[in-house]
Each structure stands twice: as structure tokens, then as C-alpha cells.
Amino acid sequence: MKKTDMTLPDNHRIDEEKYKSLLQYIRLNVTEKYDFPQEIVQVDGVTVATLGNFSASTGKPKSKKTFNVSAIVASALSGKEVLKYKAELPPCKNRVLYIDTEQSKCHCHKVLHRILKLAGMPTDRENDRIEFFVLREYTPDQRRDIIRWALHEEQNIGLVIIDGIRDLIHDINSPSESLDIINELMRWSSYYELHIHTVLHLNKGDDNTRGHIGSELNNKAETILQISKSVENGRISEVRAMHIRDREFTPFAFEIGEDSLPRLVKDHQFKMSKRDRLSSYMDMTEQQHRTALEVAFPDNYVPGYQMLLDALKRGYDSIGYSRGRNTLVGLCKFLIQNEAIVKDGRGYAYNENFRIKNRSV
């Protein structure tokens, strides 16, 4: 039986009767047991996606983001490992809804064909495990309405791909629109108990996700995968966890074979470009610090100074900034001065709302 919808429209006032009913849905009880979200996508045993949450792939144009997403979907359909992704949807939610907002039907057909080939499924007949919608010709509001209706009408959906979340809003730099669509993702994924994976471009000038929508994704997504071209070989794409709630997985790389399918590149050597090499923690962007600190503080707390230095080393190593103790001590002082790290009893806590103001120590 379908559960009662206790989500509320925006600006909806709650009367007394509605409030009493809503309380039963939103109240958390210490005496009840709550199941952890089911893990549906992993990389080398590291959880990338769970039911009831959303994630994203991000990268610059031509970085092969859609090829990467194709591998995730192919694994979800087949249950086999594709590239490094191992996906397993529950039997009652074993269907995929794929939404493309940018490409023509001709190009989308290539994507669907690629997914089925990667999954080892026939391409000469329709497959009821995947529903593919092409929304290029519609407005942002119409696209969102179509997705709402699809989620309401389609049965047994466990994974939703939205290739082009930017096209669900009018202004990528609008705080209100960005917050609204992120709230939609949280509402859809939670109410329908499925996982939503979106695609968003990176800024051309740096490795930050675009606009306010990118900032909201960074704050709320379960995982953000970054796909980038190899510095030494432009035919190879590298996949890293830009943000992840679970522990970091080892980056991997893929290239496109003669059959137009992505294939894993073994023993790939990961190197940074000169522009991306970090010479000083004072020159880093806030986003670079956040990426490192989220790795350093998986539980938002470290009990002791030496453990803090060890955590900082681990976190900043993950973004390519490997330094010795003396530099880490200076980095620690810098972060405390800028309130990114705050003293908490005998230990230290991470303040995710920090802003870099002091560029000298």
C-alpha cells in the first residue's frame, strides 16, 4: 500500500488538523528502530549511492560525464561491475528512469544504446527496465512537472538520472531557485525511496561546481563525482570523489574503445596540471579547503591535537597538498583563525560554515 504523502507544497500553511497528522510522520522516537538507507552503488566497496538520497557527476565539457553515468546505469540494470561501479537495485525497485534535458533524440538514442551494450542486454527490442525521456524542447517548469508526473506514475523506480539539472531552473545563480530544486531532489528521493543522480558542469576557470546550484549540491549531495581529462592523455578521463559521505575511494580512469564504449584503464598514473598544483594553503579556494576538511573530519570531530594534525595530513593529501609537520602546524593555525576548525572541549570540531578572511598567519 502506498504511504500517505506528508510532503507539503511551498508556502503551504499548516492548519491544526494537518499539523497533528504531520507530527506522526516527522516525529523521531528514541524507542523506535530506523533502518539505514540501502546501499545501491559502490566503488571498490565504498558506498557511492543509497536509496533516499541524491548524488551528482560533475566535470568540464567533453570530460565524458555522460559516459561515466552510462556505466552506473549499466551496472544497475545488469548487477555486474561496469568500470569500477557495482550497483544492485532491490527487486521491487529495479527500474531506471533516465531524464536528458540537453541532447536531441538522435544523441540520446546513442546513450541508451551504449547503456544496454554495457549491460550486456539486447538492443533490438525495448527494455522495460529503463525508461528514457528526452526533455530538450521543454521549459524548466515543464521539465520539472514531467519529472513529478513520471515519479508519480512509473512503478518500481530505484534509480533516477537527471542529465542536466541546470536545465530545471531559469537562473543558475539564483539562490532561491537553487534551494528550491535541491529541496525537490531531497523530497523526491525521500518520498519515493529511490536514488537520484544528477549531472552538472564545472566552471571553466576552476574546479568549482557552477553557480548557486553547485553550492547547494556540494552542501546536500551524498556524493559528488568529478570527471576530468587526464593531464598527459586527453583521451583518458579520470574519476574522483569530489565530496563523499563514506570514505574516499581510490580514483580510477577510463577511455573510449573502438566499440565506442568506456573501458577501464589499468595502472593509470594520476598527475596534476601545473595550474592545479597547490603551492600554499593560503592560496587555496574555500572549496578546496572544504574538500580537504570533509575528508579530515568524517565525523566532524577529532579528539586531540596530534590526531588533528594527522587528520589534516590525510585530508589535504586527498587534494594533492602533501606537506610535513611544520606546514601542517601553520595550516592548523590558519584554519583556527578563520574558524574552519574550532576548539571543542579537549578536541577540535569542523565548522562547515567558515569563510576565509585572514590570508596571513
Which pLDDT tens digit goes with each residue over 72-128?
Answer: 999 999 999 999 999 999 999 999 999 999 999 999 999 999 999 999 999 999 999
The pLDDT, as a whole number, for residue 15 is: 74
Rg (CA), the chain: 22
What average pLDDT does this structure show over 287-307?
Answer: 90
Cell numbers linked to 338: 578563520
**The pLDDT of residue 355 is above 90:** no
3-class secondary-structure state, position 344:
strand
Q: Are 123 and 186 in contact (CB under 8 A)?
A: no
Q: Model confidence at 20, in pLDDT bands (50, 70, 90)?
A: confident
Number of residues written out for the chain: 361
The pLDDT, as a whole number, for residue 245 is: 80
Name the DSSP class of 281.
G
Q: Are 55 and 218 in contact (CB under 8 A)?
A: no
Among 290, 52, 54, smallest CA distance to 168 is for 54
Q: How far is it, in rounded angstroms, from Cα 50 to Cα 159?
A: 10
The pLDDT, as a whole number, for residue 199 is: 93
The pLDDT, as a whole number, for residue 272 is: 56
**The pLDDT of residue 270 is above 60:** yes
Q: Are 94 and 156 in contact (CB under 8 A)?
A: yes
3-class secondary-structure state, position 302:
strand
Which domains are seen in the chain, by residue range? 39-264 (3.40.50.300), 281-350 (1.10.10)
3-class secondary-structure state, position 317:
helix
β-strand pairing of 54-59 with 347-350 = unpaired
- Indicate the average pLDDT of the chain: 88
The residue with cell 611544520 is 326
List the single range of 97-111, 242-256, 297-311 with lowest mean pLDDT: 242-256
